[in-house]
Amino acid sequence: MKIVMLGAPGAGKGTQAKMIAEAYGIPHVSTGDIFRANLKEGTELGKQAKVYMDKGELVPDELTVKILLDRVAKDDCKNGYVLDGFPRTIPQAEVLDKALSELGESIDYAVDVEVPDENIVRRMSGRRACLSCGATYHIEHIPPKKEGICDTCGSELVLRDDDKPETVQKRLTVYHEQTQPLIDFYTAKGVLKTVDGTQPMDKVFADIKAILG
């Protein structure tokens, strides 16, 4: 079972990807993690990627797909995997599609965790982080015992720049321009499934399980 997770930043797709991976015994494949692993291990692909990263450039789609295929060719992926963070654009999806079809494979499900923009802005701007110990909170859903103070280490909690409403709005704009077209791409392939991401996390997961069977 090969699954692609879609959804705006803050829609909760990463959390759902991890839950799917655990429930179905397949790896959660995050492009960020693969890049870090290749760089750390100093692999040939990692060295190629590092040339672009050192210049502050994006790693080309072909190389990203090569690194991804190298990961999904490993034994733990033989029953499938959940892709999180890739593809982000139509060209990436096309390169991935072509590479998989050459192996006689294809994506089985593209799961879109759908959440309206205003919910995401509210959700993310409510996040608070402790820069000392890394604990995270949410002023509505997981508030600290004492406002603005970390339960774990007593340090001050902050609203990260990434979670500020104006930053979130910018990220959403980029998402709608680049990633939203993927919904049409996977719809045309007949593999798109949409779930309501505004529901509680467990309910979203139950809906996904009903789709995957």
Hey, which residues are catalytic here? 13, 88, 127, 160, 171
Pairing of the two strands 136-138 and 127-130: antiparallel
In the chain, count H helices and then E strands: 9, 8
Q: How far apart are CA 73 and CA 98, in angstroms?
A: 15
Give the residue among 162, 148, 206 at the shortest CA–CA distance from 10: 162
DSSP string, 39-78: HHHT-HHHHHHHHHHHTTPPPPHHHHHHHHHHHHTSGGGT
